[in-house]
Structure 1
């Protein structure tokens, strides 16, 4: 099967996703995947290019609705991954109705023409951001949004350099991997975008600063003070994949440093905005405002690809530059999807719901950590949580094999999630999830840990 073809043996590739290194993968294919799905997986492997984190596929699905994906044999999985597009769940009825209606009206907007729904979406988005963020550009995907932000920052500051964190992820296109910090996206790529300075991130559980954010801030200021060609600081407000959450103090001081040195703060919230953290935008949890905000993924409601940047009125002075000259720039379909997502979040009071579920998750996952020695750290906010597995809590050695085995055990019972950094279980359910579904998912997770006899 394609699993053998795509086997990975380099430990440095344990960066963002699960890569199926253990026998659990083979057992999964032999015992849990139906013959019809095996056939489709084989055909998939013949057609599609193989790449890290996308292949080999786990199963073949035929439908998605609410909190679930369903495979072609009828088995349902609670999807706690969802590629971060399922804030309002899958196939939300209001979104389906709105897009169906839009298909009967306007499906495409030729360049240099506007349309009602694109303007409505932009107005809605601006109404939800701080008063200083009141100009929008739309684009079909997150990588392009980050690219627009970088171009704008160069134009505004007249400086070409950018500072970012090691291990950060900002997109998969060649320009954006040049400013990201994950090695797996730069392998064999040769020269990428020049002028990038990377610094260690403020990691609380492990890392060279050993949880001392003051050291991270000192490092940031040191670099900024030494290079006056840095015009932008590009960062994830919260690191999505393995859920690293800087403190409010860190972001307040980092914001001040950007202002002090004339650097634009670009916050990439493509996977974590739109209520994921209990606020519409993650930066609201830290009492700061970016100069440029990048959004995407869930903006399209899990149906349409849609992304955007939101920035300041004072930066709207570059009529002669094509900052985001994309074919589907003002897509009526994408705009209708995004407008509906924002409305659903408000109408269904999902922000309030997420904060309630955050309290539940915090208590439930802390209980698991006390119970199982395999859990070294639990961290999260809203409905974004990371469970870091270690073989020894003192040495913090990564429990990579165990993480994958637990992932497959959960899959057997109908819970799907992502493994990041090789040993972090990332839990990112739909914001529309019910309390019963959440309890069921945690029961599955508890059962998986119990099976591996890791009681503390």
Structure 2
């Protein structure tokens, strides 16, 4: 029998990652806090990598989930019709699509964000008859082969073990620090028959690159990208897996730019309670799938439909939740700006409640996160060199909790600099 104190290192694969940075055994969680089995509490500025926008074990969502299970509600249904799915679709249309004037068909591609991206890429290619996809520097779209082909991180791409083809990266907004004109090269090669670039089926973009280092695309850059795609008959896919569901303020992160993507991917917090769920949304004229042409055994997660519906009805039937997120985001940005002013080589970036503290010396970001963990705060690094401390607190976090976490972060930063 394996000793319980060594079960993880003995039996679990070396691929595990977060447990190396946060060496404790977690046991319970509530709201913005997660607790180890030793009773120690940690304020959560990670929120399941953005899958827990409404916090841990949200009481409203939990009551609905427990009631559904107690009544023997259907758990697994593939793509069969169920009451839980119907109620979710109704709530999604009434609280999200209709108020925003969006006319999208909804596909349940499987339980994860990478499932949603795979469906989006396949549909774009099927609809256009073209193979190539344009992605962006420092992008992250998932770990399956199609999604990985449009991901920028070299370490993650190397794990594929095969060539990742039919995708071409372009520079994300401000990649050249404002030196190069936006889309000049992109538009030139698209229109030049001698460029060697195949006309793409689609462009896939994150409005804010979370894994890539909290790189924020300007609204005017996104509008120019949308215009370029429309003028050249290229589909625009917005990956809103991490930045959707209110993370940046509005439900969809692209709302600030006033654009309407052809295809949108959602996952993470769409399920509300942290249970697996994903959506691929697309304009009705793109709904050309043959029955069963893209499917998956776990695309009918009914308990997630239940908590997703309640989350939409609870938080998205007016503008208050969005406004509160923006206020909290401004509070975080102000604190981080003050912190950056105190230390050389530190800058801030972000929107809403995705904020980043970037370090010119990448090792300092890792050190800050380690010191923060020791002081009871969970935060992760992001960016190609792990040079950014990325903050993703629950959207439901209180101002007092927010201030406490920022104080811990400030102290950890000062200690990292030896102050």
**TM-score, reference length from structure 2:** 0.90
Q: 1:41 & 1:442 partners in 2: Cα distance?
A: 33
Secondary structure at the aligned position of 1:215 is classed as coil
SS of 1:86 mapped into structure 2: coil
Q: 2:115 aligns with which of 136, 144, 153?
A: 144
Is 1:411 matched with 2:377? no
Residue ranges of structure 1 left out of the alignment (5+ in a row): 1-38, 391-398
How far 1:454 sits from its partner (Å)? 6.1
Identify which of 162, 165, 182 aligns with 1:194. Answer: 165
1:222 equivalent in alignment to 2:193 = no
The residue aligned with 1:353 is 324
Does 1:110 find its partner at 2:49?
no
Take 2:56 and 2:285, find their aligned partners in 1: how far apart are those partners? 38
Distance 1:220 1:41 in 2: 54
Residue by residue over 1:188-236, the C-alpha shift from the partner in whole angstroms, topping out at 9 and shown as x without a partner, is 5333443111112223xxx4x1234x63421332343354531110111
Deviations 1:299-348 (A, max 9, x none): 1224310110111111223335613x111223211211221222232269
Aligned to 1:18: none
CA distance in 2, matches of 1:306, 1:235: 21
**Measured at CA, do residues 417 and 49 of structure 1 come closer, stay the same or move farther in structure 2, by a change above 3 Å?**
same
Q: Is 1:372 matched with 2:336?
A: no
Q: Aligned with 1:362: secondary structure? A: helix
Aligned counterparts of 2:227 and 2:342: Cα–Cα separation in 1 = 41
Paired residue secondary structure (1:275): coil
Aligned to 1:327: 297
SS in 2 for 1:265: strand
Cα distance between partner residues in 1 of 2:27 and 2:317? 29
SS of the residue 2:316 aligns to: helix
Report what 2:388 is aligned to.
424
Whether 1:80 and 2:17 are equivalent positions in the alignment is no
SS in 1 for 2:372: helix
Contact persistence 2:118–2:147 (CA under 8 A): yes
Equivalent pair of 2:214/2:382 in contact (CA under 8 Å):
no
CA distance in structure 1 between the partners assigned to 2:291 and 2:81 by the alignment = 19
2:62 to 84, 92, 96: 96
Aligned residues of 2:114 and 2:141 also touching (Cα < 8 A) = yes
SS of equivalent to 1:322: coil
Name the CA distance, whole Å, in 1 between partners of 2:279 and 2:291. Answer: 20
Number of the residue aligned with 2:232 = 261
Residue 438 in 1 paired to residue 399 in 2?
no
Question: What is the CA-CA distance between 1:174 and the residue it aligns to?
Answer: 2.3
Q: Deviations over 1:73-125 (max 9, x none)?
A: 11111111122111100100111111112212323343452012212212322
**Aligned residue number for residue 67 of structure 1:** 32
Runs of 4+ in structure 1 displaced over 4 angstroms? none
* 1:149 shift after superposition: 0.6
- Tell me how large the CA RMSD over aligned residues is: 2.1
Partner of 1:344: 314
Change (3 A) 1:187 1:98: same
Deviation at 1:185, TM superposition (A): 1.5
Report if aligned partners of 1:175, 1:192 keep a CA contact under 8 Å in 2: no
Match of 1:69, SS state, is strand
1:300·1:337 contact (CA, 8 Å) conserved in 2?
A: yes
Shift of 1:55: 5.2
Q: Which residue of 2 aligns with 1:26?
A: none
Equivalenced residues, count: 402
Conserved in 2, the CA contact under 8 Å of 1:133 and 1:310? no
| Cα contact 1:126–1:133 (8 A) shared by 2 | no
Q: Which moved more, 1:172-181 or 1:444-453?
A: 444-453
3-state SS of paired residue (2:365): helix
TM-score of the superposed pair, with normalisation by structure 1: 0.83
